[in-house]
């Protein structure tokens, strides 16, 4: 099923139904198109691994900004940083509070994209949503619905077409546990001065 946004009502309804049923979705973020599933559903996670031809299940998750503290331990010194830059094109690695399938080595990768659909969907589902680029593992990611290969689309139950993503490249990944930049991506220039003692 393919749905264009905006408007959002139908897409939100169908995506929530799909995610609750253990199915997958293709959706736009502020950076790239992603493949999503309920991050607490092991079978759904395995579906995404199969679609991406990926061996590991180390995925980031989208959560409501207001609920980050339920899933991750945010040190006081970083609360202002997250408040300033989220929603935004960043992935923050933090110590996990909950044991969900995508948590590895007690670390959770948190995303709050600056994208209306993502924000509305996370509020509607009220569960962490897998956020992984819509590509075969090792291949180039895609910033437009039309660029996502049909071989991927045909394996996903709900397809959301939101046109081109704003940043057109991957998020900047910041490890707040080990104080380092994992990946320089979208929004790096803006946040760089706040991470003067980090290593990239």
What DSSP letter does each residue of 128-196 carry, written as one string? Answer: -EEEEESS-TTS---SBGGGS-HHHHTT-SEEEE--B-SS-SPBEEEETTTTEEEE--BTHHHHHGGGT
Q: Which helix (H) or strand (E) holds 1?
A: none
**Domain map of the chain by residue range?**
2-195
CA distance 87 to 113: 5
State the pLDDT confidence band at 195, using cuts at 50, 70 and 90. confident
Residue 62 has pLDDT above 90, yes or no: yes
State the pLDDT confidence band at 57, using cuts at 50, 70 and 90. confident
Name the pTM for this structure: 0.95
Say what the pLDDT of residue 199 is.
Answer: 63
Question: CATH number for the 2-195 domain, one of 3.40.50.280, 3.10.100.10, 3.40.50.2300, 3.90.870.10?
Answer: 3.90.870.10
Predicted confidence (pLDDT) per residue in 16-33, tens digit: 999 999 999 999 999 999
- Within 10 angstroms of residue 193's Cβ, the number of other Cβ atoms is 7
CA distance 12 to 30: 17
Residue 168 has pLDDT above 80, yes or no: yes
Residue 56 has pLDDT above 90, yes or no: no
Say what the pLDDT of residue 197 is.
Answer: 72
Mean pLDDT for the chain?
95
Predicted confidence (pLDDT) per residue in 123-135, tens digit: 999 999 999 999 9
**What's the average model confidence in pLDDT over 154-182?**
96
Q: Residue 168 is encoded by which pair of tokens?
A: 């057109």
State the pLDDT confidence band at 151, using cuts at 50, 70 and 90. very high
Residue 200 has pLDDT above 60, yes or no: no
**What's the average model confidence in pLDDT over 147-176?**
97
Instruction: Please check whether residue 170 is in contact with residue 181, taking contact to mean a CB–CB distance below 8 angstroms.
Output: no
Report the share of the chain in percent with pLDDT over 90: 90
Say what the pLDDT of residue 152 is.
Answer: 97
Say what the pLDDT of residue 49 is.
Answer: 95
């Amino acid at each position: 099923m393919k749905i264009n946004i905006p408007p959002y009502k139908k897409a939100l309804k169908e995506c929530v139904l799909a995610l609750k049923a253990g199915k997958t979705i293709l959706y736009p973020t502020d950076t790239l198109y992603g493949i999503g599933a309920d991050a607490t559903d092991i079978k759904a996670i395995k579906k995404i691994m199969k679609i991406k031809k990926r061996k590991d299940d180390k995925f980031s998750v989208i959560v409501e900004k207001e609920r980050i503290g339920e899933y991750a331990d945010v040190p006081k010194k970083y609360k202002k940083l997250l408040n300033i830059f989220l929603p935004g094109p960043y992935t923050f690695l933090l110590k996990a509070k909950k044991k969900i399938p995508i948590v590895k080595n007690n670390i959770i990768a948190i995303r709050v994209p600056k994208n209306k659909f993502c924000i509305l969907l996370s509020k509607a589902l009220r569960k962490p949503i897998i956020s992984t680029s819509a590509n075969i593992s090792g291949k180039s990611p895609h910033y437009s619905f039309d660029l996502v290969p049909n071989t991927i689309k045909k394996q996903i139950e709900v397809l959301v077409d939101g046109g081109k993503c704003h940043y057109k490249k991957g998020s900047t990944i910041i490890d707040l546990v080990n104080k380092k930049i994992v990946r320089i991506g979208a929004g790096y220039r803006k946040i760089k001065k706040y991470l003067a003692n980090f290593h990239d």
